[in-house]
A and B are shown apart, each in its own frame.
Chain A
Amino acid sequence: SQTIHQWPATLVQPVGSPLSLECTVEGTSNPNLYWYRQAAGRGLQLLFYSVGIGQISSEVPQNLSASRPQDRQFILSSKKLLLSDSGFYLCAWSVGQVQYFGPGTRLTVL
């Protein structure tokens, strides 16, 4: 069966520091991969998606970037965090119609 992992689970970072969040999927090949952000009490906002290795599409211009160095690995990065980057970051994968989500990373930028 397929599983999706995200780490770390929680992160507290100072403003201006770098960021690297990792997502890996097991049990499937060539999935579509997605990064979402959820502000407190709100719905999800799509940040990036990828249909294959090295293929990244950005939905929201910001100081975040994404990379897909391997088929089942998706990384979200930032060179300098802003206060507004705080939130709950969710990675998801899909092969068919349905997207399946990871456990998420709660990021607090102070």
Chain B
Amino acid sequence: AQKITQTQPGMFVQEKEAVTLDCTYDTSDPSYGLFWYKQPSSGEMIFLIYQGSYDQQNATEGRYSLNFQKARKSANLVISASQLGDSAMYFCAMREGRSEAGNMLTFGGGTRLMVKP
């Protein structure tokens, strides 16, 4: 079974509008972390935001926020006030377990976001 599922292969958003990128995950471990990365056409993976499974509040970083719904096992990324430079691939990832040794991430298949002027 897929551990990380991103059901939207591609999305369009109008500049200055908000957009939500979906991510659902599957784990039986009570301790886990969820991450979002941005990959522009240059290829570099840029860390955006992190949510721990025990965090009480949704994570926010500037224009990025994570809509964490633990019971539904979803961790959607919300980008507010989209900019042209937000056009990129976006990947959701999960780390299972407490130990930082290894700290392995499992990635979803990604969503391509295209911002229209």
Q: Chain B contacts of A94 at CB under 8 A?
A: 100, 103
Residues of A within 8 A of B102 (CB): 32, 49, 51, 57
On chain A, the residues within 8 Å of B109 by CB distance are 42-43
Minimum distance in angstroms from A36 CB to a CB of chain B: 8
0/1 interface trace, chain A 49-63, chain B, CB 8 Å (1 if under): 101000001010000
Residues in chain B near residue A51, CB distance under 8 A: 101-102
Contact in complex: B105, A99 (CB < 8 Å): yes
The listed residue (B52, B91, B100, B103) touching A44 by CB distance below 8 A is B91
**In the complex, A96 has a CB within 8 A of chain B:** yes
**Would you call A5 an interface residue if the criterion is a C-beta within 8 Å of the partner chain's C-beta atoms?**
no
Given A43-B91, A97-B95, CB of A104 within 8 Å of CB of B43 = yes
| Count of chain B residues near A, Cβ 8 A | 26
B104 to A97, Cβ gap below 8 A?
no
- Count A-side interface residues using an 8 Å CB cutoff: 25
Whether the Cβ atoms of A100 and B52 lie closer than 8 Å is no
* B-to-A contact residues, CB < 8 Å: 4, 33, 35, 37, 42-47, 50, 52, 91, 93, 95, 100-110
Contact sample, A vs B, 19 pairs, CB 8 Å cutoff = A32-B102, A43-B91, A43-B108, A44-B105, A45-B107, A51-B102, A59-B104, A94-B100, A94-B103, A97-B33, A97-B100, A98-B35, A98-B50, A101-B44, A101-B45, A103-B44, A104-B43, A104-B44, A104-B45
